[in-house]
Amino acid sequence: MSRLFLDHAADYLSWKARKQNGYPSTLADLVVEVRDPWAMTADEINGILSRCAHSNMALFRVTDPDRIQDNPLPAMTATLGVANLDKNLGADGEGMSALTPGGAAFAPFADYIPYREAAIGWHTDGYYNPVDQPVQTLCLYCQRPAHEGGENEWLDPDLVYIQLRDQHPEALRALTHPEAMTIPARMAADGTIARPERTGPVFSVTPAGHLHMRFTNRTKSIRWRDDDATRQALEILRQILLAPEPRRFRGRLEQGWGAICNNVLHTRAAFADPPGGPRRVLYRARFFDHLPASL
């Protein structure tokens, strides 16, 4: 994918024009209604995949969520053409994670932030994965929303890439360095290494030619390349994420709502449920394969 490289201007300008032409302007533009997640129609399938092909993300709304008793993501993702699950330790036997307080299948993960009520800053999923095993597809389904809070923000990494390339090309060079960002090793309770440290770029290209962003705005348990170019690039990137952007979408997944995306940047606001009452339940599936443009 030559458009990633700064000396291929013609390819980049052609891609940018296609990207910006008709880009969604509201969250509602991303929504596809789904009648039966276990028997999706061609229009529903193409509605989701076409949005993801253009803007890297789509939302779906099950029209009658009260009749949905099971997590529909396994059926939907199989229909949409992704199958190579990232079966992380926090997921259940099907490779699905229940993002609810105490919902981690692996007890040591219970205190990790996805399984708590705390806010989560800008990130893409799987930033601690090996560079050759990036999470390319992220899917969410809301079985029960929080009593209050839990909104998400969504931002297409392609738009961030365009802004960096057009306005800060040297920052983009620093963020494509193979040692730009390191996630330190995760240690087990007995002092052994449970997961080795992971080092890689922020922006890269997958073997299939897809632009991939690996990022977290966390300030702990992270190490950035120790040079001025990287420090300046990180500050520029953080300012981009803070600045107003009309194509940054914000909303809350309610019962029966979900998201299908090519692992875009996203946040989660803090949420709260009444003591002793029903808790927020959001199912998550992550895949190593990329959503197809169409079936």
Residue 111 has pLDDT above 80, yes or no: no
Report residue 107's pLDDT band, with 50, 70 and 90 as the boundaries. low
pLDDT in tens, 34-82: 999 999 999 999 999 999 999 999 999 999 999 888 999 999 999 999 9
Report residue 116's pLDDT band, with 50, 70 and 90 as the boundaries. confident
Whether residue 116 lies inside any domain: the answer is: yes
Whether residue 207 lies inside any domain: the answer is: yes
Whether residue 295 lies inside any domain: the answer is: no
Whether residue 104 lies inside any domain: the answer is: yes
Share of the chain above pLDDT 70, in %: 96
Least confident of 23-32, 97-106, 146-155: 97-106
3-state secondary structure the chain: CHHHCCCCHHHHHHHHHHHHCCCCCCHHHHEEEECCCCCCCHHHHHHHHHHHHHHCEEEEEECCHHHCCCCCHHHHHHHHCCCCECCCCCCCCCCCEEECCCCCCCHHHCCCHHHCCCCEEEECCCCCCCCCCCCCEEEEEEEECCCEECCEEEECHHHHHHHHHHHCHHHHHHHCCCCCEEECCEECCCCCEEECCEEECCEEECCCCCEEECCECCCCCCEECCCHHHHHHHHHHHHHHHCCCCCCEEECCCCCEEEEECCCEEEECCEECCCCCCCCEEEEEEECCCCCCCC
What's the structural domain count of the chain?
1
pLDDT in tens, 224-264: 999 999 999 999 999 999 999 999 999 999 999 999 999 99
The model scores a pTM over 0.85: yes
CATH number at residue 197: 3.60.130.10
Whether residue 191 lies inside any domain: the answer is: yes
Whether residue 225 lies inside any domain: the answer is: yes
User: Domain of 13?
Assistant: 2-287
